[in-house]
Structure 1
């Protein structure tokens, strides 16, 4: 099923998480998905479902990759629970469903469960539902879940209003309960590592207040219907028939993802058995990664090894490349600055020509300094000669198309998005610092030059989805392997001398 709503803040995430928890408790294998470029909601889905949430983004990926991802990830699942983004029909254009949750629903043939914040309405809820049902007849509204209801009497009024207007049925209502309210801050919800949600509490809420049997039965029937007679999901057949690309999607975390690196030092060296070790920053400060990006790196020959910029003293042994994703470094700036050994290790690795790829929060870590919202300046790794600072009243958000021109990566056009409340201190960025990206805002057509390059370090505010340009993953692994080979040869020559 696809959980959608008229607008952000209606309760989609709470309903999706409650249903995931209830399904897991019943012994079902649940495959979660998130429409749009978000990282935070998927982290909560992943923790409750026990398997990575996959991204379904019409603008970044297109129809065939979304179908292929859905087919591969649901092959061994009992139910798929998809959380939409923003309002059901909100996307890249005010004139079409491009990039919207509705577009994904139609591509995949998914029934929509509409979540309505009914905290301040009664019969008017029926007008809202009718409008969404009739706006696009190709989007099937299977039922309605109300959120923030005042009690049993309120829910009875809402249920009667839908029935009297011959609208899709009410499938339950969650009460106005602070325990079901997820904490938020400047970029959205707190992340899964910071506020682990109580699965039992969410499952209990679903069982008490939602028509879980009907919801899960409908989701299971939809999943079964999508499969062909040979057990291959129908969306996969359609993608292949239309000549769609095949993409690498594992059901769980990439097999090549190793345990966190130890704190023992190790110089960069080519990895054993033909694999290339790429250290992936993951902790409370850095957690924004598309699982598909990690899958594609693994498919290109990388062994992914997690490390913590907050806690670890050095990079994992044998590191050939470093991937610094986004997150909340500004929240943990003091702790990051205090980990001087790790910052020095990053600086030395990059200065020696090691491959470092960074996005958003990762860029902030590589800068000389980070100024937080209280105007406190925290020293960072100093890999790149620039500074970042928080602007509480400024939010950079939107899709971006990126043309890559970099000596150590293939020339590709990739798609991604920006979402941050920090900015570069322009006065700190030397004109001589190379830029590898031409970044286009698809809404306005405006272009900027970004993607800062120094040796084999590439850092940008843009979160790229490698599924939009799989050659990027191949190029990053190849660059890491080449850098490690050069460093190993130099070390060998030094030892021989």
Structure 2
């Protein structure tokens, strides 16, 4: 029967992603089917999960999604695997704010009823680590904190001291992971380097798996986890693919919620990938475009040099066929993009805006969107939730682009700007999760078909 576990941390940077990838790769090397999930709105970690497990990883978020939708996504993808590994975000109890658990790994573990492994950076700690773990274990009595894994230990003796400090407590010590200078994954703005840009991928993954296997009894860990079986889920059948929608997919554009893509397919879309970096033509017979986010700023010169594709994108947007562009995809549709080095590169010029990369993030946080005018995603009044995180700053104006989003942050505060509609082309910095409003995927597929 399938097993499941949440890998949470005391904070960002404690090593939970390295532990998660190491466990995924180690179990996969044993021949197990490993399904990855990510707590929160992150796009980079799910891509790394896929690299380690071989299966698409799915985002689960207690603020963007209802408990029922979380159960549906989890059940659909947990079925048929040997173990589901859910990676938390930030610290175990960190979510939308100081007094709410919404969006946290703890909330997700309680919704699903899955035990939690806490990863603790124990560098410079001895008996105090036990006090830290005790506090995490007692902070929420409704949460099942099942085990702890100490990371960044300095020696076997250090690991023994930590284990001794935990003796007599209800929380199991799974092991102690030694510090290794060559193990941490490289990072940049927005987070870790994406799976597509990570060098020596197999070498890194196997090193993480070796590191985990040397300190944890994987068979004992698996045996101790409770079986997590759910009734099979019917989606009511999938429509025959009849609407070809192109979606940008390469090193510059790789930020998509897997559930968004699944829901579009469910609505009858045949999703056809193409590369704005390398292709000179769009795939044939497309009825719509979906331009996701990513790192266009890192590939701005190459994108600008591909004038053939820029022209095809511009012509498609001006044809009246539906286009939906998020964050990096929206930047690609602007007049130009200026890099941190001050180099300005021409983009598609669909929107008469420009964007420039800044030294710190320009927006970060959850967003709730309400449509105030008809758009490719729905009628006025339709609402959805998502997230915004970018280092670029938009400038300029486009009188022909109408604002069709009423945007609020997690506290209900109104955010300036939002979704811009020009013709039938909708661009926004907000990444929406279609699971927060399943009608949006169906509406987009429907207007593409029409």
Q: Is the 8 A contact 1:129 1:167 kept in 2?
A: no
Q: Partner residue of 1:462? A: 430
Task: Confirm or deny that 1:389 pairs with 2:356.
Answer: yes
Superposition deviation, residue 218 in structure 1: 3.2
Q: Structure 1: which 5+ runs fail to align?
A: 237-245, 250-254, 257-272, 483-497
Q: Partner residue of 1:417? A: 387
TM-score by length of 2: 0.94
Q: Partner residue of 1:190? A: 193
Query: Aligned to 1:58, what secondary structure does the other structure show?
Result: coil
Task: Confirm or deny that 1:204 pairs with 2:204.
Answer: no
Which of 417, 421, 438 is matched with 1:453 structurally? 421
Superposition deviation, residue 166 in structure 1: 1.9
Query: Aligned to 1:318, what secondary structure does the other structure show?
Result: coil
* 1:60-75 alignment, distance < 5 Å: 60-75=64-79
Task: Confirm or deny that 1:346 pairs with 2:313.
Answer: yes
Aligned length: 440
Superposition deviation, residue 274 in structure 1: 6.2
Query: Aligned to 1:397, what secondary structure does the other structure show?
Result: strand
Q: Partner residue of 1:266? A: none
**How big is each residue's C-alpha offset from its partner over 1:217-253, in whole Å with a ceiling of 9 and x where there is no partner?**
234x332xx44xxxx26xx7xxxxxxxxx7689xxxx
Which of 211, 222, 227 is matched with 2:227 structurally? 222
Task: Confirm or deny that 1:285 pairs with 2:245.
Answer: no
In structure 2, how many angstroms separate the alpha carbons of the residues matched to 1:58 and 1:407? 27
Q: Partner residue of 2:61? A: 57
Q: Partner residue of 2:175? A: 172
In structure 2, how many angstroms separate the alpha carbons of the residues matched to 1:407 and 1:25? 46
Q: CA RMSD in A?
A: 1.8
Superposition deviation, residue 48 in structure 1: 1.4
In structure 2, how many angstroms separate the alpha carbons of the residues matched to 1:248 and 1:395? 41
In structure 1, how many angstroms separate the alpha carbons of the residues matched to 2:411 and 2:149? 33
Flag as ranges the 4+ runs of structure 1 deviating above 3 A.
246-249
Q: Partner residue of 2:94? A: 90
Q: Structure 2: which 5+ runs fail to align?
A: none
Q: Partner residue of 1:263? A: none
In structure 1, how many angstroms separate the alpha carbons of the residues matched to 2:178 and 2:303? 40
Which of 402, 424, 430 is matched with 1:434 structurally? 402
Which of 317, 332, 353 is matched with 1:365 structurally? 332
Query: Aligned to 2:298, what secondary structure does the other structure show?
Result: coil
Q: Partner residue of 2:442? A: 474
Superposition deviation, residue 178 in structure 1: 2.6
TM-score by length of 1: 0.85
In structure 2, how many angstroms separate the alpha carbons of the residues matched to 1:274 and 1:175? 50
Superposition deviation, residue 146 in structure 1: 1.2
Q: Is the 8 A contact 1:65 1:247 kept in 2?
A: no
